Amino acid sequence: MNSEDFFTKLERQIQSGNPFVAYRNPNDKNGLTKALLQDTEKAYKTSGFNESGFVFAPFENDNNAFFIPSENAESITTEYFADKDEEVKKEDQEFPPVYTNAEAKIQHEKLVQQGIEAIQTGEFKKVVVSRKEDVQTQLEALDIFKNLLKKYETAFVYYWFHPKTGIWLGATPETLLKVERDKFKTMSLAGTQSFQGTSNVNWGEKEIEEQQIVTDSILENLQDKVSGTIHRSEPYTTKAGNLLHLQTDIQGILDSEKSNLKSLILALHPTPAVCGLPKKNAKEFILKNEGYNREFYSGFLGEMNMKKEIKRNSNRRNQENQAYASILKQTFLFVNLRCMKLEAGKARLFIGGGITKDSNPADEWQETVNKSHTIKSVLVK
Ligand SMILES: C=C(O[C@H]1C=CC=C(C(=O)O)[C@@H]1O)C(=O)O
């Protein structure tokens, strides 16, 4: 359908108060933007991860993953492209004034220091600590979503609403898991620096180690679930909004006797890119010391067992060029980063960073300030 109709339908759904999700997968060459509109306000939960639909899971508590079942939702799509002129205008715009709350800075630096000390006493090797920040905004959620679509073509961009969770929006650079037939893909993403006009940059020892921990842990956790070798790229620099990260692509073939979607999700989530290593100790530290509830930040979301139609020609020499369609199931999940929860006139941002033995509290605070720009920059007209 055309974009105008798509957004009109979305607006009607918003008014109905029923759950929905609108989203675009990263780097979609057609700008394919999809929505699933649930026809009642019922809350569906999944713990088996074998249904077909869109899942929205929190950081903690595996039995609390919401989902919108494909069979109880209307599916609509549009091809939405950013108006380039409009986009340029946005790029020129200043970020809203950087929020510097002395109290929040002191608190975050203290938390980082506690993390470093726990690493020094051998409690864990890495922990990811985060904070929340409330920002005023005059924009409606739908306008924020359009801004995200325009600004972040390489990210997974979404707008989720459920009466039980409230409104969440984000533009995340991190894939948790992609599965198509028996092929899987994931990534190790960690280490951050500000983008200063080039992606050709050097990385310090701290960032290299921080990202290597994530790669090693993903490889170890997937080892008994695959058939054959797990392939991985060399770490490379990737751009996400105004930031650069280190990324390693990881892929392979699943062993269907030893793995299913649930076991894969449990093996990966939460990765040391959002939690730490070892997982259990780092998670305990986070829950005890962060002092707020992450809710769906650093959880995961995306298409789960969704049917995808693949059209292909049965025979290239076939004069009629007849197309045959085959249906396959696809799962494409992302880690919920660079996100916000929207309440009347207020956006709550969630931002974190990985701590290792070499971290510096003041730098870690600054990193969260830089990361918050991804979201802050879409909160202005
Ligand atoms: C936890 C976050 O980012 C993760 C992903 C990429 C780089 C990260 C880092 O450099 O610390 C984090 O591991 C966040 O943005 O809130």
User: Chain-wide mean pLDDT for the chain?
Assistant: 90
Closest CA to 127 of 289, 265, 266, 238: 289
Looking at per-residue pLDDT, the higher value among 187 and 324 belongs to 187
Please count the CA atoms within 13 angstroms of the CA of 249 that sit on its side-chain side: 9
How would you label 177-214 residue by residue, b for 16+ Cβ within 10 Å and e otherwise? bbbeeeebebbbbbbbbeeeeeeeeebeebbebbbbbb
**Ligand 1 binding pocket includes 352 (Cβ within 6 Å):** yes
Asked, as a colleague might, if the bond just before 69 is cis with ω within 30 of 0, I would say no
Residue nearest to atom 14 of ligand 1 (CA): 352
**Ligand 1 binding pocket includes 240 (Cβ within 6 Å):** no
Please give the number of the atom of ligand 1 that sits closest to the Cα of 274: 1
Residue nearest to atom 11 of ligand 1 (CA): 353
CB 227 within 8 A of CB 253: yes
CA–CA dist 374, 349 (Å, integer)? 10
Please give the number of the atom of ligand 1 that sits closest to the Cα of 207: 10
Closest CA to 20 of 67, 81, 77: 67
**Ligand 1 binding pocket includes 261 (Cβ within 6 Å):** no
Q: Are strands 183-194 and 226-232 parallel, antiparallel or unpaired?
A: unpaired
Q: Which of 76-90, 207-221, 228-242, 329-343 has the lowest mean pLDDT?
A: 76-90
Longest dimension (CA), the chain: 72
pLDDT at 55 over 50: yes
- pLDDT computed for residue 344 by the predictor: 85
Residue nearest to atom 2 of ligand 1 (CA): 352
What pLDDT digit, counting tens, does each position of 123-147 carry?
A: 999 999 999 999 999 899 999 999 9
Please give the number of the atom of ligand 1 that sits closest to the Cα of 272: 13
For a ligand 1 pocket test, name from 296, 371, 372 the mutation site with the most ligand atoms within 8 angstroms of its C-beta: 371
pLDDT tier for residue 106 given thresholds of 50, 70 and 90:
very high
CB 143 within 8 A of CB 4: no
Please count the CA atoms within 13 angstroms of the CA of 116 that sit on its side-chain side: 14
pLDDT at 185 over 60: yes
Q: How many angstroms separate the alpha carbon of residue 229 from the centre of ligand 1?
A: 28
What pLDDT digit, counting tens, does each position of 265-315 carry?
A: 999 999 999 999 999 999 999 999 999 999 999 999 999 999 877 766 655
At the second CATH level, the architecture of 3-85+102-309+324-377 is: 4-Layer Sandwich (3.60)
What pLDDT digit, counting tens, does each position of 206-217 carry?
A: 999 999 999 999
**Average pLDDT, stretch 13-19?**
97
What amino acid is encoded at 322 in this protein? Q
CB 58 within 8 A of CB 299: yes
- Per-domain boundaries in the chain: 3-85+102-309+324-377
**Ligand 1 binding pocket includes 192 (Cβ within 6 Å):** yes
CA–CA dist 281, 6 (Å, integer)? 45
CB 194 within 8 A of CB 239: no
**Ligand 1 binding pocket includes 270 (Cβ within 6 Å):** no
**Ligand 1 binding pocket includes 162 (Cβ within 6 Å):** no
**Token pair listed for 162:** 């459920």
pLDDT at 99 over 90: no
CB 241 within 8 A of CB 84: no
Please give the number of the atom of ligand 1 that sits closest to the Cα of 174: 5
Please give the number of the atom of ligand 1 that sits closest to the Cα of 189: 6
Residue nearest to atom 4 of ligand 1 (CA): 273
CB atoms near residue 81 (< 10 Å): 14
